[in-house]
Amino acid sequence: MKQLILMRHGKSSWEYDVSDKDRPLQERGVNDAHLVSKTFGLHAPEIDFAFASPANRALHTGMIFLRNLHFDLAQFRVNEALYDFSGQSVQRFVEGLDDKWDVVAIFGHNYAFTSLANTWGDQYIENVPTAGLVHITFGVDSWSDVKKGTTKQMVFPKHLKK
Domain count, the chain: 1
Q: What percentage of the chain exceeds 90 in pLDDT?
A: 93
**Least confident among 17-26, 60-69, 94-103, 129-138:** 17-26
pLDDT of residue 128: 98
Over residues 146-152, the mean pLDDT reads 97
Residue 124: cis peptide before it, omega within 30 degrees of 0: no
Domain extent for 122: 2-160
pLDDT in tens, 112-141: 999 999 999 999 999 999 999 999 999 999
pLDDT of residue 72: 96
pLDDT in tens, 53-69: 999 999 999 999 999 99
Of the candidates 4, 3, 10, 43, the one whose C-alpha atom is nearest the C-alpha of residue 156 is: 10
C-alpha distances in Å from residue 77, one per residue of 9, 42, 62, 72, 91: 16, 24, 10, 11, 17
Query: Does 18 have pLDDT greater than 90?
Result: no
**Least confident among 92-96, 101-105, 120-124, 156-160:** 156-160
Distance, CA of 160 to CA of 35 (rounded, Å): 8
Query: Does 51 have pLDDT greater than 90?
Result: yes
Of the candidates 90, 138, 150, 81, the one whose C-alpha atom is nearest the C-alpha of residue 116 is: 90
* Order of strands, sheet of 76-78, starting from the edge strand that comes earlier in the sequence: 76-78, 49-52, 103-108, 2-8, 133-138, 150-155
Q: How many helices and strands, by DSSP H and E, does the chain display?
A: 5, 6
Cβ(42)–Cβ(72) under 8 Å?
A: no
Q: Which CATH number covers residue 149?
A: 3.40.50.1240
At position 157, the amino acid (one-letter code) is P
Mean pLDDT of the chain, nearest integer: 96
